[in-house]
Amino acid sequence: MNIQVNTDHNIEGSAELNSYVQSSLSEAFARFKVAITRIEVHLSDENAGKTGGNDKRCLLEARISHHQPIVVSHHADTIHQAIEMASDKLLRALDSMAGKLTDRTSPKDLFEETSVENEEDF
């Protein structure tokens, strides 16, 4: 799973920020690491230096093999809050997608760990 961090010209991209995003998202999406090929993180400051709440935005785009990408975003007071809440939204979206795919037969299982159930004839 590749994690790509993009910032706008109002947010200073630093090694600390990249490290935080990498570790946070790697840990949060560890069970989906086989299915997710790339996560693109777009960080922006919507008010560009003006005071005001909920002006930091995190947009996450998860590229999933053999499926359409899933995109979520969240606005918050700080970049860290925006990242955490957007990752929670993306995790819920991936869980929902995985649940829908396991309800019917699918060639691609989103979970790293698969369980095999024995069916017995009655």
Q: Which of 16, 22, 20 is nearest to 4 (CA)?
A: 22
Q: Is 108 contained in some domain?
A: no
Both tokens of 28, joined, read 């949060």
Q: Which of 14, 72, 12 is nearest to 41 (CA)?
A: 72
Range of the domain at 42: 2-103
Radius of gyration, alpha carbons of the chain: 17
Q: Is 120 contained in some domain?
A: no
- pTM of the predicted model as reported, rounded to 2 decimal places: 0.76
Rounded Cα–Cα distance for residues 88 and 73 (Å): 10
Q: Is 31 contained in some domain?
A: yes
CATH number, residue 74: 3.30.160.100
Q: Is 114 contained in some domain?
A: no
Number of domains in the chain: 1
Three-state secondary structure call for residue 58: strand
Strands 36-45 and 2-7, how do they pair?
parallel
Q: Is 40 contained in some domain?
A: yes
**Segments in 7-108 forming alpha helices (H):** 15-28, 79-103
122 residues of the chain, pLDDT tens digit each = 899 999 988 888 889 999 999 999 999 999 988 889 999 999 998 887 677 778 899 999 999 988 899 999 999 998 999 999 999 999 999 988 887 776 555 545 555 554 455 555 44
